[in-house]
């Protein structure tokens, strides 16, 4: 959830920055001074609104309020859950993953899927075996896009798409692998590459 007003956003951003720089939260007076206002009562209203939205936690200690950023809200605000691509020849038993929102480029999570790379055929594009591809679900592609494609309903690969008349060329980015030339009616496009997740060992 995002703050509902610009002023609420300014208050929340100042509290975040202050805690990062000082290790503890600012007073209402410090927030008011930073925003150039004189009323602590107005700041209190913004704090109450942010608390009602789940963006801040407020507790009373020794007669004063203590502010705390809501860690649960901040994490899930910035991630989305994505499921694995549905392949016609294999069921995936892997659990869905939570992916940073910036990696889906504003798309709804249900419009995205995941695919685990099974070889090094795209190594020259910095795509390695065991990487996880984030794919925007689409049944078509433009020349030069990297796509997740199913060939003859029996295997899937992530290659660069090129149309060649009635055929499709799926081109690897590794000189050790050969391009795949196949009739267009035997290729099913499941989506277009939008990002890569990698576990560093």
pLDDT tens column, 8-19: 888 888 988 888
Q: Over the stretch 10-62, which tens digit does the pLDDT of each residue have?
A: 888 898 888 878 878 888 889 999 989 888 888 888 888 888 777 887 776 55
CA distance 157 to 173: 12
Quick check: 77 pLDDT over 60? no
User: What's the pLDDT at 76?
Assistant: 47
Instruction: Give the domain range for residue 114.
Output: 78-197
Tokens in use for 99?
A: 């992916």
H-only helix segments in the chain:
6-22, 28-35, 40-52, 71-77
* Secondary structure of residue 113 in the 3-state scheme: strand
Nearest to 108 by CA among 150, 80, 140: 80
Task: Give the domain-ending residue among 76, 94, 123.
Answer: 76
Assess whether 86 and 72 both reside in one domain: no
> How many domains, in total, are found in the chain?
2
Q: Over the stretch 128-152, which tens digit does the pLDDT of each residue have?
A: 999 999 999 999 999 999 999 999 9
Assess whether 124 and 151 both reside in one domain: yes
Q: CA triplet 49, 70, 34: central angle to 5 degrees?
A: 60
Assess whether 113 and 150 both reside in one domain: yes
Quick check: 70 pLDDT over 90? no
Torsion region of 36: left, alpha or beta (phi above 0 gives left; psi -120 to 50 gives alpha): left
Assess whether 137 and 67 both reside in one domain: no
Name the pTM for this structure: 0.62
CATH value at residue 66: 1.10.10.10
């Amino acid at each position: 959830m995002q703050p509902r007003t610009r002023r609420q956003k300014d208050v929340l951003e100042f509290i975040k920055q202050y805690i990062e720089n000082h290790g503890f939260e600012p007073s209402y007076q410090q927030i008011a001074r930073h925003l150039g206002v004189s009323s602590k009562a107005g700041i209190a209203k913004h704090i109450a609104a942010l608390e009602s939205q789940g963006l801040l936690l407020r507790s009373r200690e020794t007669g004063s309020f203590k502010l705390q950023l809501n860690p649960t809200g901040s994490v899930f605000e910035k991630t989305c859950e994505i499921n694995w691509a549905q392949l016609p020849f294999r069921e995936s038993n892997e659990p869905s993953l939570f992916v940073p929102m910036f990696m889906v480029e504003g798309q709804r999570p249900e419009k995205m899927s995941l695919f685990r790379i099974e070889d090094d055929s795209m190594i020259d594009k910095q795509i390695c075996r065991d990487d996880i591809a984030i794919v925007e679900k689409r049944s078509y592609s433009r020349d030069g896009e990297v796509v997740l494609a199913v060939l003859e309903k029996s295997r899937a690969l992530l290659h660069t798409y090129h149309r060649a008349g009635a055929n499709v060329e799926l081109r690897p980015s590794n000189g050790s692998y050969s391009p795949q030339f196949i009739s267009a009616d035997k290729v099913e496009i499941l989506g277009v590459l939008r990002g890569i997740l990698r576990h560093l060992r």
